[in-house]
Amino acid sequence: MQTRRAETFHPTPTTTAVEPLTRSWWLHLLRGLAGIVFGIAAFVWPGLTILVLTLLYGAFALADGVFSLGAALTGGARDPADQAIPTWWLAVIGVLGIAAGGVAFFWPGLTALALIMLIGAWAVAVGVLEIIGAIWLRERIQDEWLLVATGLLSVLFGLAILLRPGLGALALAWAVGAYALLFGVLHLAFAFRLKRVPART
């Protein structure tokens, strides 16, 4: 009995280190849901124009930024002695998303080329940061490949968009919609994986 009680109140370093992310698993879930909602909207919205796509993208980037920043802030270590994984990469993702969303909303006259460059640059930056986050997680949690896959997806999508700036509104909507759906599904899976990590008591 004493042994089991000691294990309860003194978690392993691995569990303690990953706890900052597990506390905010539901914010990662919201990131996934935002991606899925945006992806569906991009596919089914009739007569999608560059202006509508800009506003939709702005809403998606802003929501992802707010949820990412929330996950970074609520996921801080409770005890300075905790060897917690850093969450700065989530904070940077949050700031980038809020900035990109703000540009899309307050600069609605974006041209197709400017919108493509904005989406591509944001996707590449987010992808690189999520791969960095996965590297920190690789020895502390199983299935960190979900975050790696999300990061690679973002980087490849962003580069493809930047290298093919001549896409029309419909093709761009389908490309962004497909990316957002996959992004959302992978983040949902990652969120539920975080939720299954044993909590510290």
Query: pLDDT band at 1, cuts 50/70/90?
Result: very low
Residue 16 to residue 10: CA distance in whole angstroms: 9
**pLDDT exceeds cutoff 60 at 6:** no
List all residues 6 or more positions away from 199 whose beta carbon is below 8 Å from its beta carbon. Answer: 19, 22
Residue 70 lies in a domain: yes
List all residues 6 or more positions away from 47 whose beta carbon is below 8 Å from its beta carbon. Answer: none
Classify residue 192 by burial, with Cβ atoms within 10 Å: 0-12, 13-18, 19+. middle
The tally of domains found in the chain comes to 1
Q: What domain range is 109 assigned to? A: 2-195
The predicted pLDDT at position 76 comes to: 52
Q: 194 vs 200, which has greater pLDDT?
A: 194
Residue 109 lies in a domain: yes
Is the CB of residue 31 less than 8 Å from the CB of residue 67? yes
The residue-averaged pLDDT of 152-177 equals: 88
**pLDDT exceeds cutoff 90 at 201:** no
The predicted pLDDT at position 12 comes to: 42
Residue 121 lies in a domain: yes
The residue-averaged pLDDT of 93-122 equals: 88
Q: Which residue intervals of 11-144 are DSSP H helices?
A: 13-22, 25-44, 50-74, 88-106, 112-137
Residue 201 lies in a domain: no
Give the CATH number for residue 154.
1.25.40
The residue-averaged pLDDT of 117-133 equals: 93
What's the pLDDT tens digit per position in 34-76?
Answer: 999 999 998 888 677 777 888 888 999 999 999 999 988 875 5
Residue 200 lies in a domain: no
